[in-house]
Amino acid sequence: MHRDLSILAIVLAVIVTVTPLAFAQQLQVRLVNVTSPVAPGKDATLAVQTTPKAACKITVQYASGPITTKGLGPKTADVKGNVRWTWRVGPKTKTGVWPVIVSCSLKKQLAKLETSIAVQK
């Protein structure tokens, strides 16, 4: 009888320990808002929601290649999981539809969102 109770206690301890991991939510990135279309020389904004404290980065790919401009640095999601980037579209940026990729990571989980921005005069 004592042995059966010990085994039951071990099984219950394993279930309690494993259950939170088994039901852990997968990291996700959801598009909240994107300025599109946007004119050359104007500001564009992209906002996402993910898990609070996730580390996020954004890549905007124009015809000339990926851009690095003020406002497009890595960011950490706030306590509600919100992340927002605002940048100035160059005045000579070609019109077209350009890919935008947001990648977020937290505790060895990675999530990616692919969208686009239209640049129109």
Please tell me the distance from the alpha carbon of residue 27 to that of residue 21, in angstroms, as a whole number: 13
> Over the stretch 34-82, which tens digit does the pLDDT of each residue have?
999 999 999 999 999 999 999 999 999 999 889 989 999 999 999 999 9
Domain boundaries, the chain: 26-119
Listed in order, strand segments (DSSP E) in the chain are 30-34, 43-49, 55-62, 65-66, 75-76, 82-88, 96-106, 109-119
Asked if 95 and 78 touch (Cβ cutoff 8 Å), the reply is no
Share of the chain above pLDDT 90, in %: 75
Angle at Cα 28 formed by Cα 99 and Cα 68, nearest 5°?
35
Mean pLDDT score, 11-27 = 49
Mean pLDDT score, 3-26 = 46
Please tell me the distance from the alpha carbon of residue 50 to that of residue 1, in angstroms, as a whole number: 49
* CATH number of 26-119, picked from 1.10.357.10, 1.10.510.10, 2.60.40.3880, 3.20.20.80: 2.60.40.3880
Q: Is the pLDDT of residue 11 over 60?
A: no
pTM above 0.85, yes or no: no
- Name the more confident of 41 and 10: 41
Q: 3-state DSSP call for residue 93?
A: coil
Share of the chain above pLDDT 70, in %: 80
Band of residue 85 on the pLDDT scale cut at 50, 70, 90:
very high
